Amino acid sequence: MAIDIAIRIGGEGGEGVISSGDFLMQSAARAGFEVMTFKSFPAEIKGGYALSQVRFSDEKILSQGDGFDIVVCFNEEAYQINKRLLQPGKVLVYDGPGEFEIEPHAGVACYAIPMSHIAKSELGAYISKNMVAMGAVCELFGFPVESLKRSIHDKFIKKSQAVVDQNYAALDAGATYVRDHYGKDPTYSFPAARAAKNVIIVDGNQAIALGATTAGCRYLGAYPITPATSVGIYASKLFPKGDGYVYQAEDEIAGIASTIGASFAGTKAMTCTSGPGIDLKSEMVGLAAMAEIPVVIADIQRGGPSTGMPTQHEQSDLFICAHAAHGDTPRAVIAASNVEDCFYRTIDAFNLAEKYQMPVFLLSDAALSLQVEAMARPDLAKIKIVDRLRYKADGNGERYQRYKVTASGISPMSHPGDRGGTYCATGLQHQENSAPRTSADVCVTMNDKRWRKLDNLEAEIECATEGAAKAKVGIISWGLTQNAVREAMVRMRTEGMEVAALYPKLLFPVPVKAIEVFAARCTTLLLPEANYQGQFAQLIRAATGIDCVRQNIYRGEPFIPKEIIARVKELYA
């Protein structure tokens, strides 16, 4: 029987909400199910509402879905936040009886499990409350408990065998309570494990680090910042296995400056940060563009402005990535939409940076950074890796022209130590041989040369599209929002609606041709994005004159499919 079940766990930061969701996800993936997670937690280390949701299915999961089927509430706050979503057919598992009162919920199966009491009084370890709850979940819904135990072992053995045993005991206690008081839930049950697929289970930030490694990146220089830090942490495990190096810099500027230096010296290099870090790195973006040094800058967006909401989703750094740095600074901006995309778009970012010798931004976001998916194991033989055009002395004694004017704007690059390849990498306006010069003809020629590199970018990374050849409503979306749109499209097309969708990966320069062709197919264009200003809608309008109906959310959470469907239906008549 096909399954599609979403379990949400809510509780206080510090109560092990995130670990519980991770255990469920790992166990289900190991048991052969498709999985996708959504996590949201406060910026505090302890306290505040934390949420972890795992969606399981037999089929490819396109988005986090519209909500949950089963909610496990570790405390009253979690119940209060989620109770309005408890419609008939859903299941509530909560800490009780006696911890807090719940209201009557018609058609909702409610299971009180004394999580706190069992953990404190019977097991003498309050921290294992989450595993009492997970034991109850396994027993109620037939979740593969042996697989869950393996996940518990793998995580907690680093603490000690006693911690592992304590958690096994908590699992058993939760399961025993359900057997003694309820039995199996009649609505939701997990089928037996199936053959494991050839997948790797990673989150968005891990996929970026894997993509960078695959692209040939051997240097990452960054300053820790939520939610980007784990790109560097994972890279620091991967890179040293080869000849790579991760440098935890003293600040954001040093992070990108060292990255530009590494690239100048001949190593594919990247930095990663979040919005506040882009503010600080801006001047260095200009240096990379002017000195024509390839560099990839991963921006894992978070809620802004200022320090804003460090752990919450927003798509509001598009303007700064498209415009960071003063003067006329060429760059490209690419956005990833899901975990697999984080891997492949990172490779695209390196390929563009290397080919065009310029800064390339890769946009992800807080929700995607933590989202875990089972992605198909990449076939490395099929992945195209592009390296920069290198200088080779031709032996005729001519002086090396680092910034030689070419039809494509790309000039051969030498590395320190290359015979005859000495030049000065400079942020000053310069002539072909790299010597500083500000004459009018040099200014015009060199600006034209640098900007010419953007002419063909649209052809390098094509937009995907789907839907009706003539659509009443066409949806343009970017980043994580594309997942909700993809699922919305499946549902709307099942209803026979004439809708279409365009999924740009390159956001800057705006893919003008693709947007114009798509606009000609559609009566009305809708552009949902998780920012206040309608940043991509504004860039599209500036580049094409085309106006999209804007659907903007800025509540710290990603779009869900049903709110996009609702807006399309309003426009559809």
Query: Of 337, 135, 120, 364, nearest to 228 (Cα)?
Result: 364
Query: Encoding tokens for residue 264?
Result: 């100048």
The residue written with tokens 């220089």 in the block is 221
Q: CB–CB of 71/82 below 8 Å?
A: yes
Q: CB–CB of 360/298 below 8 Å?
A: no
Number of residues in contact with ligand COA under rule CB under 6 A: 22
User: How many angstroms separate the CA atoms of 490 and 467, rounded?
Assistant: 9
**6, 18, 138, 410: which one contacts ligand COA (CB under 6 A)?**
18
Instruction: Show Cβ contacts of residue 46 under 8 Å, excluding neighbours closer than 6 positions.
Output: 12, 13, 14
**3, 163, 309, 383: which one contacts ligand COA (CB under 6 A)?**
163
Query: Which of 24/476 has CB closer to ligand COA?
Result: 24
Query: Which of 229/434 has CB closer to ligand COA?
Result: 229
Does 233 interact with ligand COA (rule: CB under 6 A)?
no
Q: Which stretch binds ligand COA (CB under 6 A): 10-18, 455-463, 474-482, 564-572?
A: 10-18
**167, 263, 337, 364: which one contacts ligand COA (CB under 6 A)?**
167
Looking only at residues 28 through 67 of this chain, which bind ligand COA when binding is defined by CB under 6 A?
41-43, 45, 50
Least distance (Å) between residue 201 CB and ligand COA: 17
Q: How far apart are the first and last CA of the chain?
A: 37
Query: Of 168, 164, 53, 170, nearest to 114 (Cα)?
Result: 170
Give Dmax over CA atoms of the chain in angstroms. 89
Using alpha carbons, list the distances in angstroms from residue 86 to 20, 51, 80, 540. 21, 16, 11, 40
Using alpha carbons, list the distances in angstroms from residue 124 to 67, 129, 169. 34, 10, 11
Query: Which of 24/291 has CB closer to ligand COA?
Result: 24
**6, 10, 16, 475: which one contacts ligand COA (CB under 6 A)?**
16
Least distance (Å) between residue 333 CB and ligand COA: 24
User: How many angstroms separate the CA atoms of 202 and 460, rounded?
Assistant: 27
Does 366 interact with ligand COA (rule: CB under 6 A)?
no
Does 309 interact with ligand COA (rule: CB under 6 A)?
no
Query: Which of 152/353 has CB closer to ligand COA?
Result: 152
**13, 174, 221, 255: which one contacts ligand COA (CB under 6 A)?**
13
Does 349 interact with ligand COA (rule: CB under 6 A)?
no
User: How many angstroms separate the CA atoms of 215 and 292, rounded?
Assistant: 19
User: How many angstroms separate the CA atoms of 257 and 221, rounded?
Assistant: 8
Does 312 interact with ligand COA (rule: CB under 6 A)?
no
Does 14 interact with ligand COA (rule: CB under 6 A)?
yes
Does 17 interact with ligand COA (rule: CB under 6 A)?
yes
The residue written with tokens 């280390």 in the block is 45
Looking only at residues 81 through 140 of this chain, which bind ligand COA when binding is defined by CB under 6 A?
127-128, 130-131
The residues binding ligand COA (CB under 6 A) are 13-19, 41-43, 45, 50, 127-128, 130-131, 156, 163, 167, 226, 310-311
